Chain A
Amino acid sequence: MQRYSVPALVVLAGLILCLASQFGWIDLYVQTTIMFLFINVIMSTSLNLINGNMGEFSCGHAGFMCVGAYVSSIVSVALFAKSSYFGAPLLPPAWAVLGMPLSLLAGGVAAAFAGLLVAFPSFRTRGDYLAIVTLAANYIIMSVFVNLDMVGGPRGFMGMKKVISAMNEVADIPWMMLLTFACTVFTVFILRRFLSSSLGKGVNAVCQDEIAAEIMSVNTNRIKLVAFMLSSGLAGLAGGLLAHIMGYVNPSGFGILKSTEAMVMVYLGGMGSITGAVLSAVLMTGLIELLRPLGILKWVVIPLLLVLLMQFRPAGLMGSRELADVFPRLRRFYKFK
């Protein structure tokens, strides 16, 4: 019974969310906010792997999100929708129901390979210098898409709404809510499993003393490669989801500002804590929405709150602790594998 409690809770939460969206218990605005919240959770937990656990300073996370957004959009539009870019759909639009997760996956895989752009330099340089490399990677990726006229260039790329409506014709359920929730659970699940293994703890070893790690038989280059690819791949997944929720992608939306947003969430939550990253993503998204009535003043209040938080909890909300460290009784309730 204990073994199934957490999966059961997760499925129940997903079910309630989908039902609530389906029957209009929550309006479209709240639905979209919840989906953005999930995307923020994916962004902050995946960046946490690099900035928190590995101790590198990656500030180009949105670049990988951009790759994922474009690639998954291109795949799904080319396959399942009639568009001015690619003409008639290559497959029957109804297949999008099955093809959609695959196109998101394609976006994630493409982003993981884009992550090599940072992973290889990380073998030779670290710290501030690697931060510059990640920044450069962000700009390179953005300029590539700005200059690709085939997919709209600076005007952006659209047509994803048609894919979603094709899916809704097959079955009228909140597809994007379902997919976003599933991807978020997948992200946290995978990161949790990776980081709790002896292999994944190698990431922390690289952070705390890279030379000792290398001498103690840890293949540091491989660890860095895996960490960067995993992190950017998950960011790509988030990008694909965002593109399909919004219905269009525009390269300028994935600039340094978006990367900073992800970074703020990581540092707010606490370095190297998955729980913290989830918590801060929820908090940030919630705050931004709740303080909306303040108008432009919101951007004074939120940074001020951040400053205060960093003053009184310099290690972030959770430090490097996880949920099970804060509530040790949870361990008795559920055995974390």
Chain B
Amino acid sequence: MPAEVLLQLTDVTKRFGGLVAVDGLTFGVERGQIKAVIGPNGAGKTTAFNLITGVYALDEGEIEVAGKRATRLPSHEVAGLGVARTFQNVQLFGNMSILENVMVGAHARARAGLLSASLRLPAMRLEEVALAERARECLRLVGLGKLPPETAAPSLAFGQQRLLEVARALAAEPLLVLLDEPAAGLSTAETARLGELVESIRELGITVLLVDHDMDLVMQISDEVVVLDHGVKIAEGAPREVQRDPGVIAAYLGEEP
């Protein structure tokens, strides 16, 4: 059965001045996969995520999401194509409650505008109730369901803040979720629970692309791994094959292959 490609990067290049952060990167993510992007620090992993989500504009290449061209689209339009993400350095809305943070994630799933909001028209109120319910569901899903929904986001522990970002991403009902170092700063127990959470996200029919340095986690949950070094893809394949790849070993140990 030929699997459908949900995300396709083709020859994607990004330069910052003289530095080529991502260099001719080509890879695809199939629907229903958990795929990981790994590589040493500065390999261009987060840059790749920023290119996919329109945070940076790419210099060359093409990006497609579910068969639609996503190249150089602004971030909110990429989100509209069904891509949600979390951030390596947690980017929560510190001025809002945890429930409201997750409700922003569902922004594109609702339509109330300035007029219906300022007059609190009945349709808008119904929509608010549905949004809040959806947000509570996402909080439960990531394991934050027992917290009072009006808890201020910055008062959460670090690991919980990471989970809140995941809940916010899920609220968008995305086709694809990008997790940027979700295990960074988490304890071993928290990382294990994160692994289960990622599996359960896949079971919801959401495709996952993640960047992480925790090799145990990556090798355990990923179907496929892409390895970057200095912006270039040096390997791609099943976790076991990649682990044995001499080029990958050299990149991690800092030797010339």
A, B bound: no
A interface, CB within 8 angstroms of B: none
B interface, CB within 8 angstroms of A: none
